[in-house]
Structure 1
Amino acid sequence: MREILRQMGRSGMILAGFAMVSVLVVAATYHGTRERITRAQQQALAMQLDTLVPPARYDNQPTADTLQLRDAAFGSDSEGTVYRARKAGQPVALLTTIVAADGYAGPIQLLVAVNADGRLAGVRVLSHKETPGLGDAIDIERSNWISHFDGRSLDDPAEAQWKVKKDGGVFDQFTGATITPRAVVKAVHRFLEYERDHRAALYAAEKTR
């Protein structure tokens, strides 16, 4: 009986040892993988930012010059990250992700870049679930519709025309899919208003200790 108990004890210790080693291996793998994933995400983000604000326009690191903000202008209950591009310390542009929550098939995530003069450097769709062949024309790979925001501002067009043409505005809608472009136009206009009203705070330099 004692021998059986001793064998059970040894088996238990061996199993515990294997379990501990497995936990350590998993932890080490997770830690290494997490760092690689984070680096890959940062690189992908930098590439996305550069598509709208070319690196030649700034000399800082926008992904390190950020603000965390929460406002309805971002179209989400979660905090939004604002990336600031500067040259010789002067504001060049800011970039952030916003959500057009009222897309036809659900929320549409957008990357928006606004120059320091309030004009749009550009808009790109990051993710959506809109209907293929209809609403997905908001994607730059599908059509150039999204590029029509380039250079626009709150004064161009006038506020009453920040709508799709069906609603009396200047932006094209898609045949059989008006809801999708309407949601994007509304979200971009909303953020431009926020940028105008908070420009000084958005570009304020980080406080040094």
Structure 2
Amino acid sequence: MNKYPILVAGLLLAMFAVAGTGLVAFTQEQTKDRIAANEREALLRSLNALVPADSIDNDIVTDTRFVNDIERLGGDKIQVYLGRKGGQPVAAVFASVVPDGYSGPIKLLVAVRTDGSLGGVRIVSHKETPGLGDKVEERKSDWVYSFKDKSLINPDISRWKVKRDGGDFDQFTGATVTPRSIVGAVKNTLLYFRDKGMALFERPSDNEAPPEKVASTQV
């Protein structure tokens, strides 16, 4: 049996595999900066929808902290984006988590101004039932816009519930669990900010992590 053709075929396959791997690696290397830039731009658009660009003068994408509060923020490493103007605090945007959505966790952006009022809320991701719970998306309904300018005194903290439970917030026909969970999560984010929010804006001291590592600071 002539093994030469088999050996040649094996070598060709190996060469194609190496070349393919190299091409993929090269493509990833060439596009990673563009992908990162696109991701940053998308995040900045979402943040600016809640904290207008003309209300701050810092880089809100990188001026961040991580906080641990499973009970109120839904996770043990929740990122908070900080908006400042002239060095003064303007608003904090929490990447909060709703752990008890109908079909699983729901990720939110919750913007809280320094006066304790909401700059707004946006749904980042969810797995809620299409046609029912997915109405929390801004492209499906305007329900999520109802949070803007609300606070723990507007409405009264006792009214931070869906109407079915005796509160002020609408629910959806056939889907109460999703809006109920989100209303509760937004209320809990406001409670966190009331108790600890302003401390997030404190700059790290000289013996703490340098500015480029502030994002990993625990509060």
**TM-score (normalizing by structure 2):** 0.82
* Number of aligned residues: 205
Query: Counterparts of 1:1-209 in structure 2 under 5 Å?
Result: 20-72=18-70, 73-77=72-76, 79-207=77-205
Deviation per residue, 1:63-101 (Å, 9 max, x gap): 111112232133135x22111110000001111211112
Question: Against the structure 1 CA distance between its residues 11 and 178, is the aligned structure 2 distance closer, same or farther, given a 3 Å change threshold?
Answer: closer
Aligned partners of 1:19, 1:142: CA distance in 2, in Å?
Answer: 45
Q: CA deviation at 1:39?
A: 1.4
- Counterpart in the other structure of 2:216: none
Conserved 8 A contact 2:121-2:148: yes
Aligned partners of 1:97, 1:161: CA distance in 2, in Å?
Answer: 24
Deviation per residue, 1:153-193 (Å, 9 max, x gap): 11222221111111111111112111111000011111111
Deviation per residue, 1:24-76 (Å, 9 max, x gap): 43322222233222111111000100111110100111011111223213313
Conserved 8 A contact 1:195-1:202: no
Aligned partners of 2:158, 2:67: CA distance in 1, in Å?
Answer: 28
Aligned partners of 1:178, 1:41: CA distance in 2, in Å?
Answer: 33
Aligned partners of 1:163, 1:182: CA distance in 2, in Å?
Answer: 7
Deviation per residue, 1:128-153 (Å, 9 max, x gap): 22222222221122222111111111
Question: Against the structure 1 CA distance between its residues 12 and 202, is the aligned structure 2 distance closer, same or farther, given a 3 Å change threshold?
Answer: same
Residue 152 of structure 1 aligns to a residue whose secondary structure is coil
Residue 61 of structure 1 aligns to a residue whose secondary structure is coil
- Counterpart in the other structure of 2:215: none
Aligned partners of 1:117, 1:129: CA distance in 2, in Å?
Answer: 33
Conserved 8 A contact 1:86-1:92: yes
In structure 1, runs of 5+ residues without a counterpart are: none
Aligned partners of 1:11, 1:178: CA distance in 2, in Å?
Answer: 62
Structure with max Cα Rg: 1
**TM-score (normalizing by structure 1):** 0.86
Q: 2:64 is aligned with what amino acid?
A: T
Conserved 8 A contact 1:74-1:80: yes
Aligned partners of 2:140, 2:19: CA distance in 1, in Å?
Answer: 50
Residue 80 of structure 1 aligns to a residue whose secondary structure is strand
